[in-house]
Amino acid sequence: MPINITLPGQSNESQAPAGRVVGIDLGTTNSLVAYVENGKAKIIEGADGKLVPSVVTLDDYGGVVAVGVKARQRSMMDAAHTVYSVKRLMGKSYQDVKKEAGMLSYKLLQADEGLVRIQIGNKLYTPIELSSFVLLELKQRAEEFFGEPVTRAVITVPAYFNDAQRHATKDAGRLAGLDVLRIISEPTAAALAYGLDRKNDGTVAVYDFGGGTFDISILKIKNGIFEVLSTNGDTYLGGDDIDRRLMDLFITQIQHINPGFVPTPEQIQRIRTVAEKAKIDLSTHMKVMIEIDIPEAGIAYRRNLTNEEFKRVAKSVIDRTRKPCEDAIRDAKLDVDDLDEVVLVGGSTRMPMVKELVKDIFKRKPHDELNPDETVALGAAIQADILAGDTKDVLLLDVTALSLGIETMGGMMSTIIPRNTTIPTTATDNYTTFVDDQTGVEINVFQGERDFVKDNRHLASFTLKGIPPLPAGAAKVSVTFLIDADGILHVRAIETHTGIEQTVAVKPSYGLTDEEVERMLRDSITNAPADIAARRLVEAKTEAQRILGATEKVLGQLRRGQLNITAAKLKQINVGAVIDALYALRRAVNSEDPVEITKQQNLLESATEPLAKEIMNASISEALTGKTVEQV
C-alpha cells in the first residue's frame, strides 16, 4: 500500500461502525485472538487449543488446504507446500532474507524490484498474502465463538518493525477482511496485559523474545499514560535461530555417519520438529533423547542432548539480546537502577538461561507470572477495548523505532524525525535547490541511523515538479513527515513561494499497490476446501474471457489500421501466433480444466507481449509529441 502524501494533522483513524473489536497477536511461530469481557481480557480457544500455529499449507493452484495445527502436521508430509515463519519475511527484500533459503522447505524467489516471493506449486505469493490466511483463520475462530461477524481488530507487531513491515501487517489484515483500527507494538501490549497501569507508577522494561523477533522497550507509566521512552531490538532474532543451530548440529552428525546425506524438504521438517521439541523440553529437563528416523535414507539417529550442551549451542543467539537492552536503557537516559520492573514476553523467555541473562542485565528478577505466549494477544484485546470506548482511563504513547529522513546532496541522510520520537508526531524541515534554474526536486525517503543513505533502508521516492527557475538556493522546499498512531509514515513536499505541492503516491519497499491489494481481496479464498475446485475454474474462465476480449479488440483495431504502429514494426510481430493462441484459449475455456485454461492463457499473454510493447511505445510517443521536459 503506498505511502500517501497527507496533510499534517489529518486523521487516519478508522471510522468503523460499532461492533466487536478483537486483539490479534500475529506471531512468527503461533498466533492468537483475544477479547475483553467484563473488564477482563481472554483468549478465544478453538478445537485445537488457544494457539494457532502460523503455518499454512496450499495446493499447486492457490487453494488453502490447511491452516494452524493441521498445517503444521502436514509440514512433515508435504513440506514443499507448507509455509511457516513467514513473519520474518514481512516487508523484506530478497537480499534481506536469502540467507534463509537454504534452511526452508519452501522456495524463495526474487521478484521485481528485488522483492521476496514464496513459490508454492505454480503460484507466487507475497508474505502479506500468506499472513492473511493466518489472520483469516483467527477471524473465523472469533466469529464462530461470538456467533456474529467480526470485522475490526487491533494487530500487534514487534516494536522494531519498520514502516514497510507495519504497512505489510495492515494490508494482511485488510486481505483477511479486517478493518485494522490500530497497529500496536508488542511490548506496549504486554505492559497493558500485565495491568501495569493499575499498579504503581514507574518505569518498566519489557523484554520480548519470540520465535522470530526480539524487542526491548522501556516504558514510563504515570496516571494511566503509557509513554515509550525507547525501543530497540532485532526483527531477525528469535527462537527459530536456536532451532536452526540444533538442526545444523543434528544434520552434521548424521552426515558424519551417513556421508552424502542431503535432507529433502520433508526430512528437514522432521529434523526441525525434533529440534524445536528438544529446545522446549530442555527448559524443564536436564537431558533429552534425540530420535530422528528417516527410513528411506537408512537413518536411525539416536543421542542424548544435555542441558549443558544445549546452552553452548544457544548461548550465542541469546547473548545477542544483551546489547539492544543496554542500548535501550542508554537511549532512555536511564540507569538500570532507575527501572522499577522487568516483564518477560514471548515463548522463548521460558528458557531458564534467558531468565538468567535478563536477571543479569537488569539486576532484578523479571515478571513471568503470565503465559508468555498469550501476553501480547491479551494486551491487544485491551487496546481494542480502549478503541471501542469501553476502557477510558488508559492512553498509549508509542515511539518510532528508527529515524526517518531524506537524502541530501552527496548521499547524506538528513533526519527529520529521530528514532524514539513519541508518536503520533509530525515534523517539518526546509530544503533548497542546488543548481541555477532547477525546476524539480527529487525527494528520497529513508529510514535508519547511518549518516549516508546507502547504509539505510529506502522507503519511497517522488519528484516535486514546477519549481520556478530561480538561482541556486533561492527556492524553498518544505518537507513534512507525519507518523500516525500505527507508526506509518505520510509525506508532503511543497515549494513555499508558489504553493506548488506534490500529491502523487509512492510505495514502500515491500511493493504492494492498492490495486494489488484490492485484487487479492477479491481473489482471497474463504471457502472450505470442497469449494476450491469450483472457485478455481470460475476464476480461470473469468480471467480468460477478459484476456480474450482485450486481445480480440486489439486485433480488430489492427485490422482497421487504428493503431499507430509502423509497417516495419508490424512485420516483426507474429500476428499469426497471436491468433493461434487466441483460438487455443477459446477452446480451453469450453473445457472444465482450470490447469489447461491457465496454461493457454499464459501462452496467449506471451504471444501478445511484443504487440503490447509496440502499442505502449506508440502511445507514449504520441503523448509526448510537442511537450517540453518540464511539462512531462
Is the Cα torsion angle 119, 128, 44, 240 positive or negative in sign? positive
Amino acid 135 reads L
Residue located via cell numbers 526452508: 104
Q: What angle do CA 83, 245, 321 make, to 5 degrees?
A: 95
Distance CA(222)–CA(394), nearest Å, equals 10
Burial of 118 (0-12, 13-18, 19+ CB in 10 A): buried
**Cell 514464496 found at:** 118
Pairing state between β 152-157 and 21-25: parallel
CA pair distance 606, 611, nearest whole angstrom: 10
**Phi, psi of 575, rounded to the nearest 5 degrees:** -65, -35
Grid coordinates given for 19? 461492533
DSSP string, 585-610: HHHHHTSS-HHHHHHHHHHHHHHHHH
| Residues 336 and 358 sit within 8 Å (Cβ to Cβ) | no
Please name which of 188, 184, 187 lies closest in space to residue 214, comparing C-alpha atoms: 187
Instruction: Report the length, in residues, of the chain.
Output: 632
Provide the Cα torsion 462, 467, 470, 471; round to 10°: -10
In SS3 terms, 296-350 reads as: HHCEEEEEEEEHHHHHHHHHHHHHCCHHHHHHHHHHCCCCHHHCCEEEEECHHHH
Whether the upstream peptide bond of residue 424 has omega within 30° of 0, thus cis, is yes
Q: First and final CA of the chain: distance in angstroms? A: 25
Active-site residue numbers? 25, 87, 186, 208
DSSP-derived pairing of the beta strands 202-209 and 214-222: antiparallel
Radius of gyration over alpha carbons of the chain, in Å?
27
Per DSSP, the three-state class of 372 is coil
